[in-house]
Amino acid sequence: MDKRRDSKKRILKEGESQRKDGRYQYRFTESNGVRKTIYGKTLEELREKEEEVTKRLLNGLSGTSGKTTVGQLVQKCLELYKPERDSTLRSYTYGVDLILKCPQANMPIDKMKKIDAQLWIKELSASGKSYSVIEIVRFLLWRAFEVACDDDLVGRNPFGFRLKSVIQDNRQPKPALTLEQQKIWMDFIKTDDFFYTSYDEYVVLLGTGLRVSEFCGLTKSDIDFDSHLIRVDHQLYKKADGTLCVVGPKSKSGERYIPMSADVYASLKRILSNRKAPKIERIIDGKSGFILLNAYGNPKTSQNIQVTLRNANIKFHKRHPDYVMPNITPHVFRHTFCTNMANAGMQPKTLQYIMGHSDVAFTLNAYAHSDVESVVEQMGRLVDMPDDTELKVKKNV
- The answer to whether the CB of 329 falls within 8 A of the CB of 354 is no
C-alpha 112/C-alpha 104 separation (Å) is 8
Helices 114-126 and 131-150 sit at what angle, rounded to 10 degrees? 160
End-to-end CA distance of the chain: 93
Q: Which of 361, 92, 359 is nearest to 252 (CA)?
A: 359
In this structure, are strands 229-232 and 256-259 parallel, antiparallel, or unpaired?
A: antiparallel
Residues labelled as active-site residues? 211, 250, 331, 334, 357, 367
What single letter denotes the amino acid at residue 141?
L
In this structure, are strands 223-224 and 229-232 parallel, antiparallel, or unpaired?
A: antiparallel
CA 153 to chain centre: 28
C-alpha 222/C-alpha 209 separation (Å) is 16
**Ordered DSSP codes for 88-122:** HHHHHHHHHHHHHHSGGGGSBGGG--HHHHHHHHH
